[in-house]
Structure 1
């Protein structure tokens, strides 16, 4: 057991120290407006140079610091959560490779080196999703990797199209791409790649399916690594979206994703899938605010969201671990009596998700909604933003009611308590950041404060919508028998809204299963059928017959052949 503790401890300490260095450097670079572009010549052979390029600015350093901080807490937390796993060293190595791929993506201004991190995230996420090695994990892993491969194809096409500019260092060409046809094509391809990686409609179904991974992996994936890679890519390419038709399209797609996931979470009963759908809602919020040109706001929300979402998954992991891997919230209730410390952390992270004043989520969400009211926004997008904010509070307080209050519904004999000290220590660090992280980041990123002047009703609208949504969610959950009967009376509507608008069925059957089956039939009929019959196998059998026939003449049966020859001649003569 000692060596497992050493692996977790050494990895988490190294990542924690590295995160502190990056956070201090990122703060310094932000306050002094410093950026470094580093070119490292790896090898030079016959005038051919292989150059690795790195960009170190406040955005890459702060994001890298947050990724390493959350990863260190997650690995420390994994010592308790994965204690029954005999291959924990393999798990830790996979997580470290995952973090390394994300770091590659963050610090790369070159599309080739971004592809290393981009494909590394896709491959290692597949290995982590199928970690438990059962049929559900294999299905979820295949859906995840195939959805991400669609974006990888678009990314490869974008790399090929960048040859028109003579270099893959896209940061030098963003200004020229805005008014150029090649730039428009590249930005469309990058937007498509970002939509698949960040699970925007119609590629949303893989995100809840990826919950088949271990909970520490979910905590890392849904806070700061895999799903945020697409948002980070769009932040870097943001100048191509502002004022363009693609920006309007992304605004609509982001709003639809927010709305769809917010409604779907109110019908879901799987604890991890509810939190996954809340991640999807926040990703839609980031994508939609990006399309309006507020890249720094999207980055601000990306960092604050990473803090409380990682904490939320950690708390969910403690609950699932103690309840014998039960994830159905209908079997929970009154867990605050058994998990006082975990419940406190759970409440803090949920309130931060709702945008409760002066927690981490408040500083970014409130500022985003105020900037939406200041912007020239149409009524549909306005409804998407504020209705989705209300839905966030609604499903959050529904989750709090089912998990924390009511009667204890779990029927099991295992002991339930806050005794996982490694898990609790990892969570307590995250709680501190979920409380003060938003204010610290706002001081760093917006060192010169801008005054947002709005009428009183509009200023309070975000809080009003959140309180109304939370009240409605709590009241509906208290009368869950009545709400269940209403859902049963509208069974098709409930099924449609609760199944992410039938997207999992369309994604699996329409996009993956039927094309695979048709490919199998084409393979059987063409490649392994007619092509074989008239091609290699046909030639093989023809030459085989000719060879057997000629070899038969080489045997020592000349008299027999001559006798048969004369017999045939006699028969032919008399005929």
Structure 2
């Protein structure tokens, strides 16, 4: 048991020190306005050379620092959470591979090397989702892998189109060629790839399904790695979005994703799925503000969201761990008396998610909503933004009401306690960052604050919507009886909203019903049918049977050869004479 523990601790120390270094370098780079390209010539053959390019600027360094910081604490937390796993060293290695893939993605200004990190994330996420080997995990892993393959194919096609420019280093062509036909096509392909990886409509169903992975993985995936890869890619390609048709398309679908996830979370009772849907809602917020032409704001919210979302998942993991793997919030209640420190961290991260003043989420969410109000924006998108903000507070307060207040609803002989000091030590640094991270980042990224002049009713609209959403969430939770009556009376609406507008069915049964079944028929008819007889298998059968005949001849004595020689000679003479 000593060796896996030492692997956890060593990984934690190395990643934590690296994260501090990266953030420090990022601050220096942003103050001095530095950008470094590092090129490594891997292979040179005749006049051609294969060069690996790395891009180090303030954005890549700060993001790498945050990813390493969160992953170090997640690995430290896993030491206790995964203590019952006999193969914990394998789990830690998979998490480290996951982090390495994300590093590749962050520092690549080149589409080919981005694909290395992109596919690395897809492969390792599949391995982590199926980590608990059961049917549900296998199905969730397959849905995750197949959904992400669509984005991988789009990225491969974008690589093919980049040949028009003579190099795959997209970073050199974005500003000068963003209106060319080739770059417009590449832009659409990149938007498709980002929508699949960041689970926007209609590819949203894999994200709640990926909750089959262990909770430390969920904390890492939903905060700073897999789901944020699409947002980060579009931040790099932001010149292709603002004012273009891609931007309008992305704004609509991201707004709908935000609304759909917020609505669905209010009908969900699985603790991890509620938090997963809140991630989906925040991803929609990042994508929509990015589509409006504010990449720096999207990046700001990406970082602040990573801090409180990782903490939220780690608190959920501690609760589930103590509840003996029960995730239903209806079985919880009164956790504030049983697990006070975990409850403090949980409520802190929830308030940061809602955008409560002066916590991490407030600085990015409030700024985003004020910029939306200030911008030229249609009514539909405006309503989606603010209604989704209200829904966020609504499901957060509902979650707190069910899990934290009242009496404990599970077994009387419960094992709840707050004595998991390893998990708590992993959570406390993130709690500190959930309070201080937003203001520190805003000082670094926006040294001269924007002056946003709005009328009083628009300035207070975000707070008003949040308060109304909170009140609604409390009322819905308190009146459980009428809430259940409503759900019974309106079963179709409840199913529609609670099952993410039926996207999981469309993503699974819809795909299985037509393309996969057609693939099965073609496999039976061609690959296992005629091509077996005509192709390689048929040739193998023909030659092997003939070789057996000649082998038989070779194994017999001289009389057989003489007899066959005389026989063939007589046949030939007969044919020649007649």
- TM-score category, normalised to shorter length: over 0.9
Matched, 1:273 2:297: no
Give the 3-state SS of the residue equivalent to 1:449 in structure 2: coil
Q: Which residue of 2 aligns with 1:196?
A: 196
* Runs of 5+ consecutive residues of structure 1 not aligned to the other structure: 558-575
Matched, 1:380 2:380: yes
Report if the CA contact (8 A) 1:176-1:183 is conserved.
Answer: no
Equivalent-residue separation in structure 2 for 1:539 and 1:47 (angstroms)? 43
Q: Which residue of 1 aligns with 2:155?
A: 155
Aligned counterparts, 1:36-435, within 5 A:
36-411=36-411, 413-435=413-435
Deviation readout 1:233-253 (Å, 9 max, x if unpaired): 000000111110110000000
Once structures 1 and 2 are overlaid, which stretch shifts more, 166-175 or 506-515? Answer: 506-515
Deviation readout 1:295-314 (Å, 9 max, x if unpaired): 00000000000000000000
Equivalent-residue separation in structure 1 for 2:25 and 2:376 (angstroms)? 36
Q: Which residue of 1 aligns with 2:573?
A: none
Q: 1:54 to 1:539 in 2, by over 3 A?
A: closer
Give the 3-state SS of the residue equivalent to 2:284 in structure 1: helix
Q: Which residue of 1 aligns with 2:576?
A: none
Equivalent-residue separation in structure 1 for 2:506 and 2:120 (angstroms)? 27
Equivalent-residue separation in structure 1 for 2:422 and 2:551 (angstroms)? 77
Once structures 1 and 2 are overlaid, which stretch shifts more, 542-551 or 179-188? Answer: 542-551
Matched, 1:475 2:475: yes
- How far residue 7 of structure 1 moved from its aligned partner, in angstroms, is 1.2
- How far residue 49 of structure 1 moved from its aligned partner, in angstroms, is 1.9
Deviation readout 1:27-71 (Å, 9 max, x if unpaired): 111122211111122333333322111111110011000000001
Give the 3-state SS of the residue equivalent to 1:327 in structure 2: coil
Q: 1:231 to 1:544 in 2, by over 3 A?
A: closer
- How far residue 525 of structure 1 moved from its aligned partner, in angstroms, is 1.5
Give the 3-state SS of the residue equivalent to 1:504 in structure 2: helix
* Runs of 5+ consecutive residues of structure 2 not aligned to the other structure: 561-578
Once structures 1 and 2 are overlaid, which stretch shifts more, 91-100 or 540-549? Answer: 540-549
Report if the CA contact (8 A) 1:5-1:79 is conserved.
Answer: yes
Equivalent-residue separation in structure 1 for 2:56 and 2:552 (angstroms)? 78
Q: 1:266 to 1:543 in 2, by over 3 A?
A: same
Q: 1:454 to 1:46 in 2, by over 3 A?
A: same
Report if the CA contact (8 A) 1:154-1:189 is conserved.
Answer: yes
- How far residue 115 of structure 1 moved from its aligned partner, in angstroms, is 1.0
Once structures 1 and 2 are overlaid, which stretch shifts more, 444-453 or 3-12? Answer: 3-12
Paired residue total: 559
Q: 1:326 to 1:448 in 2, by over 3 A?
A: same
TM-score, structure 2 as length reference:
0.93
Q: 1:180 to 1:395 in 2, by over 3 A?
A: same
Report if the CA contact (8 A) 1:119-1:152 is conserved.
Answer: yes
- How far residue 549 of structure 1 moved from its aligned partner, in angstroms, is 9.5
Report if the CA contact (8 A) 1:12-1:75 is conserved.
Answer: yes
Equivalent-residue separation in structure 1 for 2:27 and 2:380 (angstroms)? 37
RMSD over aligned CA atoms reads 2.0
TM-score, structure 1 as length reference:
0.94
- How far residue 9 of structure 1 moved from its aligned partner, in angstroms, is 1.1
